[in-house]
């Protein structure tokens, strides 16, 4: 009897690499404390920073004294480059609006904005009905009632560096560069959420099939 022998050849299919993006939690650049403000300023305030590797800004925020979830007046906020170019849309905070994170109210941008390496300020205007925080504002002279606790500054693993603060008696929303001799955690004023603009590789899915 003739026996037929069946050989099974197992073939190896090349790896199939699936790049699956990992959604990292957004980083709050200036994490203001859950506190009362201690100053009624009538002009604009800015917090200055450098981007050292590209970031994607997803939300802008303003300090909310007492964390009421509501803004008494009308605060506007935007990010400007040092050449004066407005990099993000202007967001407006009035009444009950946004999501409260620690001491700040945040609103999402319609779409994320990429900031390339360079110098920037986040500028907030419309103070006067809402208190900001100021390390130099002591009791008396229109200061109080809150204490001052500085924000926690988050670099996102070195994507940012913080360079100071700016201010103007004018309420104009514009780039305000660092004022001399003021530290970079001088104000409770505004913030933004961001992620690295560099995609993160996902896990590789390797599939080997035998015939």
Span 110-144, pLDDT tens digits: 999 999 999 999 999 999 999 999 998 865 666 88
The burial of 147, by beta-carbon neighbours within 10 Å (0-12 exposed, 13-18 middle, 19 or more buried), is given as exposed
| pTM assigned to the model | 0.82
Single out the residue of 30, 20, 23, 19 nearest to residue 195, CA to CA. Answer: 23
Percentage of the residues of the chain whose pLDDT score is greater than 90: 74
Tell me the C-alpha to C-alpha distance, in Å, between residue 102 and each of 34, 61, 66, 99, 178: 5, 11, 10, 10, 25
What confidence category does residue 65 fall into, taking pLDDT thresholds of 50, 70 and 90? Answer: very high
């Amino acid at each position: 009897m003739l026996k037929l022998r069946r050989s099974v050849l197992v073939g190896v299919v090349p790896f199939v690499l699936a790049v699956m993006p990992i959604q990292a939690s957004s980083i709050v650049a200036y994490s203001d404390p859950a506190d009362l403000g201690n100053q009624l300023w009538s002009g604009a305030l800015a917090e200055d920073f450098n981007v050292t590797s590209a970031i994607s800004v997803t939300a802008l925020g303003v300090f909310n004294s007492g964390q009421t979830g509501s803004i008494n007046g009308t605060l506007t906020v935007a990010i400007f480059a040092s050449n004066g170019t407005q990099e993000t849309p202007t967001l407006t905070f009035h009444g009950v609006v946004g999501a409260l994170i620690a001491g700040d109210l945040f609103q999402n941008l319609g779409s994320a904005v990429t900031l390339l390496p360079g110098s920037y300020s986040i500028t907030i205007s419309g103070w006067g009905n809402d208190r900001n925080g100021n390390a130099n504002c002591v009791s008396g002279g229109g200061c109080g009632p809150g204490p001052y606790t500085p924000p926690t500054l988050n670099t996102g693993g070195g994507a940012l560096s913080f360079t100071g603060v700016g201010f103007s008696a004018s309420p104009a929303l514009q780039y305000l560069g660092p004022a001399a001799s003021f530290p970079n955690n001088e104000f409770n004023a505004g913030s933004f959420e961001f992620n690295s603009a560099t995609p993160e590789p996902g896990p590789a899915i390797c599939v080997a099939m035998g015939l």
